[in-house]
A and B are shown apart, each in its own frame.
Chain A
Amino acid sequence: MIAARKLHVEGRLAEVSLELPTGCLAAVLGPNGAGKSTLLQALAGLLPAEGEVAWRGEDLRRIPYLERARILAWVGQESHADFGFPVREVVAQGRFAYGDDGRGVDEALAAFDLAHLADRAVTRLSGGERRRVFLARALATGAPLQLWDEPTSHLDVRHGLEVLELANGLKAKGATVLMSLHDLRAAQCFDRVLVLHKGACVGSGAPEAVLTPELLLEVFGVRARRDADLILELPR
């Protein structure tokens, strides 16, 4: 499990705390610029932040890089590529901390529907395809803590749903998945949501308890109304 206490990044994140148990699917919500990416980066130790991050009671940011890479995987919001590595090689990079043993690479490619693109250069993919490559790389690490920054943006509706289903599968296997998200309806199916607003945490807990009409109006500036809705789901 992961516990963060009073994570603070000057001007971007104001003393945010959270605690996620093993086998948990959680979402960070909030409008643009609320500090979602900053929170994920701070948790992953990718930018200097005050406060504490503990993984199973140990200070996560003091764990050496290679060892930390076996604990957590992070996927950034940017999926830009300058050099044309083949898709398979990029996904295989997920095994860097394991001496490039190549384990789970094929499974990760298949999980993100990339097997047919395995030999294509990442520079020759669409934005959404490239996003899936970086997610597959994170999956290949087999890390029990997955931090994904807007994994469903740029993805078409089916691949977006598949990402959410995959996250659910990881949770069932005991992983902790924390992702930032803009889709408030998808967030309804998460175990936990954390709402950020102007760098501060304004709500945390089960989605139905946190995402009240009052909070949605205050934070996102939208009015919530229940109605018969078009449901899109993966065919069984």
Chain B
Amino acid sequence: MSGRGLALLLALLALALLAALVFGEVRLAPGEIWDVLNGHGDATARTILLDFRLPRALVAMAVGAALACSGVLMQSFFRNPLASPGLLGVSSGGALGAVLAFAFGWASTSLWALPLASIAGAFLATVAVIALAREGASTEHLLLAGVALNALFGAGTSFVLTLKAGHFEEGGQILFWLMGGLESRTWEHVWISLPGVVLACLLVLPSARALNLLAMGEQGAQSLGVNVRRLRWELILLSTVLTALATAVGGVVGFVGLIVPHLLRLAFGPDHRRLLPLSMLGGAAFVLACDLVARTMPGQLRLGVVTALAGGPFFLWMLKRGGRS
């Protein structure tokens, strides 16, 4: 079962990656891609692939894996399948941090300034949600806290953007931070996000078994030998860092952390030893696919708009079912 799921998700991811490299304004044949990756191929193909499509695809994968994994962790923390980085306002917090880093010029001083500012913003949001909702909170409580924080951080972001409009006019930056997107992502963005995301994902995996126990109740988990306090800190830190890294390079991309874990739980069960790796792969494939739709559809859709179009109806359906998985 586990092997089948892993094989399926790996195949989906490979397919999405191939499609992301093949399709675009100029179509590259798989043969041409192969040549370029082997150090051959013509200059145009090299530029398109190595300067544009490959870094963008890698960032998309990092963003997707990070948000889906973060979603799983938040759902464990709050023991509520509707918890996710977008709905709880953690992404918005990260975006505010990132926008501040740009507005005050910190982002140009160091490669680390942007992700760190984003982490600080996301952390602020996480702490606020925990203070407002606490673990095992009702869905209403969680969502209301999220609504308030999203509005607050969104307003903060809009305020900074309009205040410092000069900094953000180029390349649709304002739209980028409010709606999410992967336009003109470069290798720099890959280095900001990918290593951190991979590291955080690897750090999460050993806790999968303890997460299963936590999912069945906090006190029960502790009585069975889980150091719940430490585990909860781990969850907060890792889920926040993952969301922040995704937001630092992709803006606010909603619903990934909600849909991907939920669908995979329906298909392969709630065991975190399966769910975590599958969600990372599934999230990467999902964002790759959504970004492909965003950049190939007429009218230049934003990534955040595509994930919201896919996720919004899904979320409403979940809400109607009472949030159970």
Residues of chain A touching chain B, judged by Cβ–Cβ distance below 8 Å, are 41, 44-46, 65-66, 68-70, 72-76, 78, 80-86, 89-90, 93-94, 96-97, 100, 122-123, 134, 137, 141
Contacts and interface: CB of A to CB of B under 8 A. Distances in A.
B237 interface: no
B79 interface: yes
Contact of B216 (A44, A45, A90): A90
Contacts of B271: 85, 89
A226 B216 CA distance: 43
B209 A96 contact: yes
Contacts of A70: 225
Contacts of B215: 82-83, 85
Chief secondary structure at chain A's binding surface: mixed
Nearest to B220: A76
Given A96-B226, A97-B224, A82 B324 contact: yes
B223 A83 contact: no
Nearest to B270: A83
A41 B265 CA distance: 32
A78 to B, nearest CB: 7
Contacts of B222: 45-46, 65
A128 B131 CA distance: 34
A219 to B, nearest CB: 27
Contact of A41 (B81, B219, B324): B219
Chief secondary structure at chain B's binding surface: loop
B225 A100 contact: no
Interface of B: 79-81, 209-210, 212-213, 215-217, 219-220, 222-227, 265, 269-271, 324-325
A141 B224 contact: yes
A68 B270 contact: no
- Best-buried of A73, A78, A82 by chain B (most CB within 10 Å): A82
A73 B223 CA distance: 6
Contacts of B213: 93, 96
Given A46-B219, A74-B220, A76-B219, A65 B225 contact: yes
B212 A89 contact: yes
Nearest to A89: B271
Given A82-B81, A83-B270, A84-B270, A94 B217 contact: no
A93 B79 CA distance: 17
B220 A96 contact: no
A187 to B, nearest CB: 24
Given A45-B222, A69-B224, A75-B220, 4 more contacts: A46-B222, A46-B223, A89-B212, A93-B216
- Best-buried of A72, A76, A122 by chain B (most CB within 10 Å): A76
Contacts of B217: 76, 78, 80
B225 A66 contact: yes
A134 B216 CA distance: 10
Nearest to A68: B225
- Best-buried of B213, B215, B220, B226 by chain A (most CB within 10 Å): B220
Contacts of A96: 209-210, 213, 224-226
Nearest to A44: B223
13 contacts: A65-B225, A68-B225, A69-B224, A73-B224, A76-B219, A82-B215, A83-B79, A83-B215, A85-B270, A85-B271, A93-B216, A96-B210, A96-B224
B324 A97 contact: no
Contacts of B209: 96, 100
Contact of A74 (B79, B219, B226): B219
Contacts of A45: 222
A69 B225 contact: yes
**7 pairs of A and B residues whose beta carbons are closest in the complex:** A69-B225, A97-B225, A74-B223, A83-B270, A66-B225, A83-B215, A96-B224
B224 A83 contact: no
A93 B225 CA distance: 10
Contacts of A123: 324
A85 B324 contact: no
A78 B271 CA distance: 21
Contact of A93 (B81, B224, B324): B224
B325 A84 contact: yes
A141 B271 CA distance: 20
Contacts of A80: 217
- Best-buried of B213, B219, B223, B224 by chain A (most CB within 10 Å): B223
A66 B222 CA distance: 9
A85 B212 contact: yes
Nearest to A85: B270
Contacts of A134: 220
B272 to A, nearest CB: 9
B274 to A, nearest CB: 11
